[in-house]
Structures are given as structure tokens and as C-alpha cells.
Amino acid sequence: MSQWSSSQYGGNGNFATSQSPMGATPSTGAKAGYADDCLLPVTVKMINEAETTSDGSSKMINGRKVSFVKIMGLLRGIEEKAAFKSYKVEDSTGVIDVRVWQSDEEEAPQNVREGSYVKVVGKCAVFKRPR
């Protein structure tokens, strides 16, 4: 029996096609790969300990490629480079380097300061570490 059964929550636990919050679904004509592009709330430790794909460009959690992530944490450092701004974000599980590329359509946040809490939503990618 499903944890979302009608006896537990008073409904049938399913979305009708017209009620789908995701728009197109596989049965209604979703694009191939659509299910792979989802937002995943993660901790820094989860990303740092995640496996890297065979081509070395992405991370995998629970056997699935990680596309977009959401992290909440304390901003520990800001460094500006020619091509990007680098932000060191720490949650209680570790520290991660977040980059905002200058070529992105959106501008890098201007009003953030070290020591403030931030929410980061973005694409998860693997970069070569400096030696």
C-alpha cells in the first residue's frame, strides 16, 4: 500500500493529467531527459562525497546524475576573477566553491557580504581543482 493512500490523507494520492504540477509528463509527451533535470536540495557533504561520472564532468547521488542543486549556507569568502566570481559557502557539513560566471545572463549578486546566510540554486558541475 502506498504511503499516499486515500485512507491516510483523504485523497487518492494521484494527479490527473490536467492537475500535473510539472506540465508534460512521460505519458503526455515530455521531452526525453526531462526527468533528469530536477532540483535537488543537498548538503555540501553530499556533493563533496558524491561519485563523479565516467566523463568527469558531473556528480552522481543515489545512482542519478545531479543537474541542479539548492544549498543553504554561510558565506565565508568572495573572490573576483576575470571570468567569474567565486563564493565559499559553508553549511554545517562542509565548504564548497560556488562560481557565478561573468557570461551568465544574470548578474552576480552585488549586495551579499561575508558572514551572511545565502541560498544557492544552480547547476552542479565538476571543475579541475587548482594544484
Cell numbers placing 45: 557533504
**What pTM was computed for the model?**
0.64
**CB distance 84 to 101 below 8 Å:** yes
What is the distance between the alpha carbons of residues 68 and 106, in angstroms, rounded to a whole number? 16
pLDDT tens-digit map of 16-70: 444 444 444 455 554 555 556 778 888 999 999 999 888 888 888 888 888 888 9
CA within 13 Å, CB half, 62: 4
CB 43 within 8 A of CB 93: yes
